Structure formats: structure tokens, C-alpha cells
Structure 1
Amino acid sequence: MNGLYRPRHGRMIGGVCAGLARRFGLAPSTVRLLALLSCLLPGPQFVVYLVLWAMLPNEDRHHAAAH
């Protein structure tokens, strides 16, 4: 599956960065670093993270919906 979801393993906080990394074929540490660095710029990055955390399904629900 190549959908966007929060994986069960490899999470640090909510699994958003790990899910984005898995979806786009990047290392989770790279996505986490980019997310952290983006917080130095003005903008709603933290709000976007919270929205993604609330809207992205957990891996279990993602796989259940696919079957």
C-alpha cells in the first residue's frame, strides 16, 4: 500500500512525519528534520501537523479500509 497513513511502528510523536516519509520514499529522520526546520519559518506548520495527526488514519484502520 502506498497510501498516506500513520504507521504503527517508527513513530516518534504522532506518526505524521513517519507516514509522510513512507508515502514519499524518504527517510523518516529527513522528514522530521525538515519539519523541525520549517518551524523556524513563519507559517502554520504546527497547525498543519495537528490537522494531519487528526485526519490521517492509523495503519490498522488504513489497512482495514483497503480490504
Structure 2
Amino acid sequence: MFEAIPVQGEEADPLYRMLANKSEQALKWNFFKYLIDKNGNIVNAYASAVKPTDKALVDDIEKALQL
């Protein structure tokens, strides 16, 4: 990433618009996370408060790696 881009609203970058539409969860704040499987499907979305080491996120990653 080389510059700030809009991630919400009418001016949102197409990637973030697609992620919000497909997951039905718009990015809400910094460090909001989307987990995408190897086939490009959105597995889940996680709030900013969810740490990368949180059990639910780690479990979802491990499950997605087995698919």
C-alpha cells in the first residue's frame, strides 16, 4: 500500500466495496479484518478489537487451511 484510499461510502475502493457487499459487513474502523479462503470466498469478518491471536480467528484460519 502506497497511499491512503477511501474504504467506506460512495468513494470506497472497489475491493473494499466488494468485501463489504459479499460479507454484508462494512469495514468499521482501523484493523477490521476479512478472512478469505484459497478460493476467494469470504469466510468471516472480524472487528478491530479482535486480535490476530484470538481463538475464534485462529480457529477459522486453521479450518480454512484444511479446505
Bin of the TM-score, shorter chain as denominator length: under 0.3
- Name the one with the larger helix percent: 1
Please report the TM-score for the alignment, with normalisation by the length of structure 1: 0.26
- Larger strand percent: 2
Q: TM-score, normalised by structure 2?
A: 0.26
Of structures 1 and 2, the one with the larger relative CO (CA 8 A, separation 6+) is: 1
Higher Cα Rg, which structure: 2
